[in-house]
Structures are given as structure tokens and as C-alpha cells.
Structure 1
Amino acid sequence: MAFFLIFELSNGLILDQVTKYITVQSFEQIGDTFPIIPGVFHFTYVINTGAAFSAFRGGVGWLKWLSLLVSLGLMAFAYFGPHLSRWEQLAYGFILAGAFGNGIDRFLFGYVVDFLDFRLINFPVFNLADVFINIGIICLLISNFPHKSPRSK
């Protein structure tokens, strides 16, 4: 595995777990909210027994095993697969950080802690792991754009 993948995986995982810990310690009960920009963006403590953005709510039993299997598959691909570009390394690092971050929660608690609440667009509450997975997907898309090779002199 390459530097960027390991760097992003470890930093993303730490940041995700620390922000979830701070959320749990800062709020007294589930559903409590703290407006950052009232009516637009709040920190809101919720638990999610489903997948990203509350999809498959209540499916944590099979979801944690699927998440683990996909994460191990991605790690095996990154380690044994072809040489990865920097964009691909970043992509897999972000995706794995998000998958492991939410996976840890599912295995330890049976749910995922969510806290980022964009009320202006009525979007489901989510966490940094969800953000990292989406950033990783964007990085994978960018890695597939045609690249100009540097001109030789």
C-alpha cells in the first residue's frame, strides 16, 4: 500500500472517531442539537442503525458484515492489485477511513453516531465517515479523467 492511502486512512479514521466521541460526550441525550447557523447547519446527536444517510435503517446485523467484507476487499485490492495513482490512493484511503469508521461503530455499539445536520436542504444527519466515503468516490471519478502526460524537452 502506498503512502497517500495509509496517510488518509489513518488520519480520516482518527478524525472520524474523535468527532463521534466528542459528540457523544457533549450532548446529554439523543436528539439534542446545537445550532451553528440557526435553521441552516446544526450539530445534532442522532444514532443511525442503517447505512449512509440512514438508508437500510435497522439492518445493522447484516450491514456490519457487508461493510467489513467490502473493506477487506478494498484493502486486498490496494495491497495486491495494480499500482495506484495518487488520486486512487487518496480515493481508497478516504473510502476505507469512512468504512472502517462506521464499521467500528456498528461492531462496538450496533449503530453509527451521526451529527452533521444541514437543515436548510432537509438532508439526513450524517458524520465524517460518510463525508470521507463520498470524497473517495469523487477522487475515483477524478482518477478516471484523461490526464495529459508532461511534455518531454
Structure 2
Amino acid sequence: MKNRPGLKQYIFAALGVVILVLLDQYTKLLAIAHLKDQSAFVLWNNVFELHYLENRGAAFGIFQNQRWFFVIMTVVILVVVSWFYGRTPVEKRYLPLRICMIVLTAGAIGNFIDRLTRGYVVDFFYFSLIDFPIFNVADIYVTVTFIVLVLLIFFYYKDEDFSIYSRRQEQKHAD
């Protein structure tokens, strides 16, 4: 397939991932330094607060203490996203898709680092108005990426845009 990402695109992707992961990890270090063992810091009364939580599961408390499940799932996700990134053309039309893959990768790595180094994920954003599960910057990356991908798939890309991922289409471009 022609027009696959080259060294420049991989460097851009790696740099983007590193910057986003550093931002996520920095906010978690701030949360540990300023929120751990403290009462919640209310930013907007009955709406939004900073509340330190050591999350050993996923959203809504599911999969508690399943550290290796999350580690394995993260590795699988990173392999799949890398595979898709390597097969996504450099054309401008696919830029939103490539950016989504970069942001998704950063979110997965951000929480992966926590699970490997701490055994839990540091969460600290809490929307008390709707009693939404406490989350972090990496969770924002993953959630926003998912929403944007759904919107792109349903409203921007057409079925034929995804033929780039089929083996037959790949073989046609190679000929």
C-alpha cells in the first residue's frame, strides 16, 4: 500500500504520545502531592471537585484488583492501534483518525504506567452533580477518542474509506 506513514509520521506520533503521557503523569503527581489524604477540593459546589482515589479497577468499580487483566488488555490495545496506525494513509482525510490513535495510545499508556508502577490508577476528577465515577486525564483521552471515533465513523468516513485495512485492498495497491 502506498502512502503509509513514514519515519516523519512515526516521530510525530511518538512525540505526541510522549507529550500527552507526560501531561497525564504530571497531573497524577500533582494529585498525589496535593490531594492524597486530604478532603475533596471543591471547585464548583455540588458540581465539580478534585477528589483523590486509588482505582484498582475500571469505571463504576468493575474488575477490581484485576491488575494483570488490565495490563494484558492494554498491550493488546496498543498492538491493535499500532497495526491500524501503520496501515492508515498519510492523506489529509485520515489525519483525524491518526490523531485519535495517538491520543488513545497516550491514554492507554498513561493508565498502564500507573498499574505497573503503583498497582492502581490515580483518579481525581469528580463530577458530583451527576455522581460520575472519578477519573483522570488518561481517561479523558480514551473517552474523548472513543466519542470522536464514533462520530467520524458514522458521519465523516464512508465504508470505502475503511477498505484500506483489508488484505485484498492492500494487495491491489502493492501491484
* TM-score category, normalised to shorter length: 0.7 to 0.9
Partner of 2:141: 132
Where 2:107 maps in the other structure, the secondary structure is helix
Q: Equivalents in 1 of 2:83, 2:156: separation in Å?
A: 26
Q: Matches of 1:116 and 1:48 in 2, distance apart?
A: 12
Q: Deviations over 1:116-149 (max 9, x none)?
A: 00000011100011110011112322332236xx
Contact 2:59 2:133 in 1 (8 A): no
Q: In the alignment, what sits opposite 1:86? A: 95
- Tell me the equivalent position of 2:165: none
SS in 2 for 1:121: coil
1:45 aligned to which of 46, 52, 57: 52
CA contact (8 A) 1:53 1:126 kept: no
TM-score, normalization by structure 2:
0.74
- For residues 156 and 55 of structure 2, the distance between their equivalents in structure 1, rounded to whole angstroms, comes to 38
Please report the TM-score for the alignment, with normalisation by the length of structure 1: 0.84
Tell me: CA distance 1:53–1:21, structure 2 relative to 1, closer, same or farther (3 Å). farther
1:19 aligns with 2:27: yes
**Structure having the larger proportion of residues in helix:** 2
Question: How many pairs does the alignment contain?
Answer: 145
C-alpha deviation, 1:101, in angstroms: 0.1
Q: Distance in 2 between matches of 1:125 and 1:28?
A: 14
Unaligned runs of 5+ in 2: 158-175
8 A Cα contact 1:16 1:128, kept in partner:
yes
Counterparts of 1:129 and 1:28, CA distance in 2? 19
Identity %: 30
Relative distance call for 1:4 and 1:138 in structure 2 (3 A) is farther
**Rg: which structure is higher?**
2
Which segment is superposed worse, 116-125 or 64-73?
64-73
Mapping for residues 99-138 of structure 1, pairs under 5 Å: 99-138=108-147
- Supply the AA of the counterpart residue of 2:44: I
